[in-house]
Structure 1
Amino acid sequence: MSVETLNLDRGHTNRGIRGNPWWTLAAVSIGVIMVGLDASVVAIANPHIAVDLHASLADLQWITDSYMLALAALLIFGGKLGDRFGRRNVFFIGVIGFAVASIGIGLVGSVAGVIALRAVQGVFGALLMPSTLAIIRNTFPAEKLNTAVGIWGAATGASIAAGPIVGGLLVEHVNWESVFYINAPIGVAALVIGALAIVESRSHQGHGLDVPGIAALSGGLFLVVFGLIKAQNWGWLAASTLGIILAGLVLLAVFVLIELRTASPVLPMHLFANRSLSIGTAVVVINFFALFGTLFFMTLFLQNIQGMSPVEAGVRTLPLSAALMVMAPLSGVLTQKFGPRPAMVGGLAAVAVALVLLSNLTAASGYNALWPAFMLLGAGIGLVLTASSDAIIGNASVDDAGVAGGLQSTAVQLGGVLGTTILGSVLSSRVGSVLTGELTTAGVPTPVVSQLTAAKELVAQGATPPVPGAPAALTHAIVTGSQNAFMAGLHTSVIVAAAAAGVGAVLALFVKGGQTES
């Protein structure tokens, strides 16, 4: 622990709000809530954005992914900026920019504008997020750090899980734009409390900005995600798909080489010499791969297949939200006592089982087939969230706190990007491959089937392609065939996600037991 941290801790009782660790935690947690809410609230708004702005499934993926991609690409860099120029300052810049970009999204009125401003949101989120963990690491003494990270994790998880509920209420009773306007008052609260409570801190080590490194990282991530999204239309084995993904991987390899050679790397490779930190990072990616990918297509299922309103769909996610909010802080207690391994292994195993349960859903499934899986999924995500954060942050030095915070947050967003991208593309590709057969089996005449196969993107959103003037029997057959095709895609997606969670559980077995090394 740094001398600065010890001095702050001794003075907390005499300084009121300024420097108080719990008020500081409240401020940064509000900032985290703003970012986490926007990562998932858009899932409920997607069907309405699609109708209002005439967005395709690929457009909806980009509305989610442009935000997460900017976060994933720049979070480590944002952590470096906080370490160099002051974490309090960078946190405030992030909060202000995020809130302003959010208002812009509600006003822009076009798909292209929404996608672009979502990316701007991500840029400012990348300044905000790593600073929160670094501020916590610098403010709390070692014996209270796990508790603080547990509360931070609960705020993160609760905001992500509450997104569909908040989004449902706002979309149904106001409009879809309001899911972004809500960030303005949240941002004001974070700024006011933060101005009163947060004490400035920065790393005492020299930090260059490593522009070549961040350019290679950002470019590599963008190309990989772009290739994965385009795979559903171009084909997974098409030369264009493989070429773009390979180019992205080459850039990421160049990034590693740059980091190994530069004097001031944006992501010091020595961090990964710690096994618990490395595995913790991989587990975070897998954890949020499952969460965001599942939220993406389950909201389409609830609204477009089962015909629920936004509020009804959001309320159906309450078991997930409640379990996550309970288990995230409990995971902090368990990790403090037993180390991160039990919570990480048990949590990912629960996630895998929950996803297997979701693979049994049908278009007509009742809520009893859904809520146990949602509850198990939320519990598993919450367990992993705090334990893996401890494995990453607890194994970094105080001077590397900003970078480690950026790494942990990068893993969250990268997992979300890959989950939305890969699982969305798997769903879309599966729908395209089975749509003709499902429509034919449902009794749709061959000439009509030929016309409808061009509407596979609409079916992949859970919607039924319209056939004006069709008799009731034909309309029923089209609905049945389209819904069965969507469900086939959903089943494949959740099985892929369950397999990833299983791999993560095995990896977590190799996290160092007991207390993480400091």
Structure 2
Amino acid sequence: MTSPHPLPASGPAPSSSPMSSYQRRILTVAVLSSFIVFLDGTVINVALPAISRELGGGLAGQQWVVDAYLISLTAVILLAGSLSDAFGRRRVIFWGLIGFGAASVLCAVSVTDAMLIVSRGIQGIAGALLVPSSLAIIVANFDGPARAKAIGRWTAWTSTAFLAGPLLGGVLVDLVSWRLVFAINVIPIAVTLLALRRLDLEPPRAVKPVIDYRGAVLGILGIGLPVFALIEHGRLGWSNPIVWGALALGLASFGLFLWNEAVASHPMLPLSLFRVRNFWVGNVATAFIYAALSLGGFALTLFLQQVAGYSATQAGLASLPSTVISISLASLFGTLAGRYGSRWFMAAGPIVGAVGYLLLSQVTAEANYVSQVLPGTVVFSLGLVMTVAPLTAAVLGSIDPERAGIASATNNAVSRVAGLVATAAAALIIGDALTVEGFSRAALATSALLVVGGIVSLVGIQNAKRSQRT
């Protein structure tokens, strides 16, 4: 694919060249457009009680304020990646930002819980347009070690958004209003739109894009309905026909989706991608690693508040070392992965993270932060930052840039579904009520998932100079 920014005739700038001002704008757009999506996935949790007091809706309404965003974002992300490849990253990011901004305003001015839930669903659809395209423009405009370093910076800030969301949400809710949690999105969106205007237009495609409409519908049902079932089973139970019916219909739709992608002349998700070793192995590793992140984070947050007696703000501050480590080191490990290959970082990082959760598994009911929580959190965070940027670089680096949108979307879908499956399974591991023993089992299960992810990477990942690309 021709880069949207004029590059030397020989191709992308050499990896040893410093980042150009144009590449810095590319990275700014990529980071900001993803930052708001990840932030809105977590910032909402601490605002739910205030929303319920003002708009009503009860527990079910609170759950749907969260679930409408998660379901629509996950269900549409494959289609969004395909649209990014077909129509260009700049155009898809532009409409994603406009949609996210409009939905954020609707959320902020909502007068009923139903209006807020619908607006959150629109936010999720718009967010799905942003994440795959933000990574795809990095892949299209950086090469070699420079690409891995840029992905490291992207990872640092998106991880920061994910980790800092609860703390930022708590401050906004306590000092101003829950409505500011949504209204504040207008500021980074405006900045991103201004930066986006300074990017060169992508050249028109030689062949008119063809959209796989049948695959799009089957993909949305095949991902969205199982995600709905995984989320709602906690409230309704697996025996509820709405839950098991959605799961059955979703799995059938996903099977038909795979069949359609195999026979379609212009598939939304070319199955040939899975013949690329680093792509399919990287996605298998992603499933284990992100299942561990979701299970461990879910269990630790609940344990600190429900057993150890931390306040919501204290529990949010407990993740501060992870934020600092991510910002400080993600770019470094992205650079190292670009120089030496991703394999060893993807193998060692999860093992280090597993040691962190082994330490956390020894936490007692008092959960003294300095002596019991902090050491494990720091070790886990170091393992996480060693893993994520090299993992993303390995998966996307194995695919031609013109397919980077759907490749990124696939990896995002795998990580989100894996996290939802792990969270749904948490009750089986923890038990009916969270105790010290239940948290210890969850921490050990998290360690085991991380170890498997590291082994998969060690055995399966090839460094870029040996890996096949399609």
TM over 0.5: yes
Aligned-residue RMSD, C-alpha = 3.2
For 2:245 and 2:265, the matched residues in 1 are separated by 32
Change (3 A) 1:422 1:220: farther
**Residues 24 and 198, structure 1, Cα contact 8 Å, conserved in 2:** no
TM-superposed CA distance for 1:76, in Å, is 2.2
Match of 1:460 in 2: none
**Residues 394 and 517, structure 1, Cα contact 8 Å, conserved in 2:** no
TM-score (norm: length of structure 2): 0.86
TM-superposed CA distance for 1:259, in Å, is 0.5
CA shift digits 1:91-144 (9 cap, x unpaired): 011012112212322332544443332221110011111111222222224452
The higher radius of gyration belongs to 1
For 2:204 and 2:444, the matched residues in 1 are separated by 44
Question: 2:360 is aligned with what amino acid?
Answer: L
For 2:239 and 2:456, the matched residues in 1 are separated by 29
Match of 2:16 in 1: none
**Residues 348 and 505, structure 1, Cα contact 8 Å, conserved in 2:** yes
**Residues 157 and 328, structure 1, Cα contact 8 Å, conserved in 2:** no
Match of 2:256 in 1: 254
Change (3 A) 1:328 1:511: farther
Match of 2:402 in 1: 399
Which of 173, 176, 179 is the equivalent residue of 2:178? 176
TM-superposed CA distance for 1:82, in Å, is 2.1
The DSSP-based 3-state class of the residue aligned with 2:459 is coil
TM-superposed CA distance for 1:332, in Å, is 0.9
Matched, 1:497 2:446: yes
**Residues 67 and 231, structure 2, Cα contact 8 Å, conserved in 1:** no
Question: 2:202 is aligned with what amino acid?
Answer: E
For 2:36 and 2:88, the matched residues in 1 are separated by 21
For 2:51 and 2:131, the matched residues in 1 are separated by 27
CA shift digits 1:411-445 (9 cap, x unpaired): 3433444344443x547x822xx5xxxxxxxxxxx
**Residues 330 and 383, structure 1, Cα contact 8 Å, conserved in 2:** no
The DSSP-based 3-state class of the residue aligned with 1:7 is coil
TM-superposed CA distance for 1:204, in Å, is 4.9
TM-superposed CA distance for 1:395, in Å, is 0.8
**Residues 290 and 418, structure 2, Cα contact 8 Å, conserved in 1:** yes
Change (3 A) 1:21 1:214: same
Match of 2:151 in 1: 149
For 1:498 and 1:164, the matched residues in 2 are separated by 24
Q: How does 1:37-186 map to 2 (within 5 A)?
A: 37-46=39-48, 48-49=50-51, 60-186=62-188
**Residues 5 and 140, structure 1, Cα contact 8 Å, conserved in 2:** no
For 1:92 and 1:350, the matched residues in 2 are separated by 39
For 2:115 and 2:425, the matched residues in 1 are separated by 24
Match of 1:269 in 2: 271
Match of 2:431 in 1: 430
Matched, 1:511 2:460: yes
**Residues 430 and 492, structure 1, Cα contact 8 Å, conserved in 2:** no
TM-superposed CA distance for 1:301, in Å, is 4.0
The DSSP-based 3-state class of the residue aligned with 2:138 is helix
**Residues 71 and 124, structure 2, Cα contact 8 Å, conserved in 1:** yes
**Residues 30 and 186, structure 1, Cα contact 8 Å, conserved in 2:** yes
For 2:204 and 2:377, the matched residues in 1 are separated by 40
For 1:79 and 1:192, the matched residues in 2 are separated by 23
TM-superposed CA distance for 1:390, in Å, is 1.1
TM-superposed CA distance for 1:9, in Å, is 5.1
Match of 2:392 in 1: 389
TM-superposed CA distance for 1:218, in Å, is 1.6
Question: 1:175 is aligned with what amino acid?
Answer: S
For 1:508 and 1:232, the matched residues in 2 are separated by 32
The DSSP-based 3-state class of the residue aligned with 2:168 is helix
Identity %: 30
The DSSP-based 3-state class of the residue aligned with 1:215 is helix
CA shift digits 1:169-225 (9 cap, x unpaired): 223322333222221101111111111235435665654221221222221223222
The DSSP-based 3-state class of the residue aligned with 2:268 is coil
For 1:507 and 1:58, the matched residues in 2 are separated by 39
The DSSP-based 3-state class of the residue aligned with 1:370 is helix
For 2:359 and 2:145, the matched residues in 1 are separated by 39
**Residues 99 and 183, structure 1, Cα contact 8 Å, conserved in 2:** yes
Change (3 A) 1:303 1:216: same
For 1:350 and 1:48, the matched residues in 2 are separated by 39
Using the TM superposition, name which of 327-336 and 87-96 deviates more.
327-336
TM-superposed CA distance for 1:78, in Å, is 1.1
TM-score (norm: length of structure 1): 0.79
Gaps of 5+ in 2: 14-18
TM-superposed CA distance for 1:266, in Å, is 1.0
How many residues get paired? 460
Question: 1:219 is aligned with what amino acid?
Answer: L
CA shift digits 1:140-169 (9 cap, x unpaired): 244522222222222222221222332232
Q: How does 1:163-242 map to 2 (within 5 A)?
A: 163-200=165-202, 204=206, 207-232=209-234, 235=237, 242=244
